[in-house]
Amino acid sequence: MIVGIGVDLVDIPRFESTIMRTPRLRDRLFTEHERGLPLRSLAARYAAKEALIKALGGSDGVTWTEIEVARLGEREAPRFELTGATAQTVAALGITALHLSLSHDAGLAIAYVTAEGEAGPVAVDVVSAGVESPLDEADGDEADGSDVADGAGTSTAGETTP
């Protein structure tokens, strides 16, 4: 059963300029593996993480660096790898699978996340959840991001990869 959905749209040039102005955001928002990627790829991963938080109904118990958007290979679909308290939070919400789709075009990136699991507390009105962007404090505005590849993927909530 679908228990949550989230979508986020990112303006790639705006995201890139925000990261260039505030380099510490790279460490706050991305895992060690993600940090070395081109800014365009980071923008898409940012959109994916924002969409995930919306699908969860908010950011309580979620740490940005415990969410990694990974690919097993060039032709593989993107998927989430969750660790630590974030993986525990997602499991506690009864989420059994996360589906991720990323796309980009014309300087924009979009991420769409569907959370599957048992009906329960995650099925909330995301608008009233008051989700705020960590980029807001960097430049006073909401910024968004993009990915270098399109695709749809599935990840089991709470699954970690070595």
Say whether 91 sits in a helix, a strand or coil: helix
**Integer CA distances (angstroms), 38 to 26, 43, 161, in order:** 11, 9, 22
The answer on whether 11 is annotated among ligand-binding residues is no
The answer on whether 8 is annotated among ligand-binding residues is yes
Residue whose entry in the numeric block shows the structure tokens 């959109």: 47
Structure tokens at 80: 């989430």
Residues facing residue 9 across a β-bridge: 110
Q: Hey, how many other C-beta atoms are within 10 angstroms of the C-beta on 32?
A: 9
**Integer CA distances (angstroms), 50 to 31, 73, 75, 118, 144, in order:** 15, 23, 24, 22, 9
Contact 134, 60 (CB under 8 A): no
- Report the alpha-carbon distance of residue 52 to residue 129 in Å, rounded: 13
Annotated binding site: 8, 50
Instruction: Give the annotated binding-site residues for Mg(2+).
Output: 8, 50
